[in-house]
Structure 1
């Protein structure tokens, strides 16, 4: 077995890693072809990465033009601790903006009750759109196995 295969996570390990993490780096494609990279909080929607953003945000405009995205979720400080998942996919706008927004708000603020989160989600949700990423390729690594 080569080293790349040794450090790859199983599907279950990828799912657990995504469930335990809260932030990702989202890359979309600018009109000139350069990457647009931002950090986003996310939630899982049926096991897939979901995020929301303002309808007029650059990432929203980029996705409308070209829905291809990549999402990087990583952890670890030293080389032998590095773990991560790089997910390539297609961002699809979904209708459940407030539901996904509430899930994201819960992950952003663990322990805050829904009755305190809901007013924020409802207010900010008026200007937001939600996306779910349909994965086309997943790459993972866990250097703790080295």
Structure 2
């Protein structure tokens, strides 16, 4: 499998993270300008942001949880040359679940739907790790 094919879902995941970063900044500045939050109330924490701002911020922060394991796995799969069509397909599926999860979190925040998207991504990522481990250990 080519490095391009393996890295394409990583690039999309990184793009998602940067989009959420920019969105977070936009909604935070808008909330501060509108007087929805006082700067002294958020200087040491995030609990005082209005809920819509916190949702986008949390969606951004979530990109540094499960995706970290995805990044590590992708690097290992590239280094060991074990990334195949199954790996790339699962990688795209994982990234899709992250996009859905972030979209739900940052907008409607329907908790059961958000959890379903998170769980689907976690299961896909676990499957990716299991396949990778089996490929390495049983080779």
TM range (shorter): under 0.3
Higher strand share: 1
TM-score normalised to the size of structure 1?
A: 0.25
Quick check: which one's helix share is greater? 2
For the pair shown, the structure with the greater C-alpha radius of gyration is 2
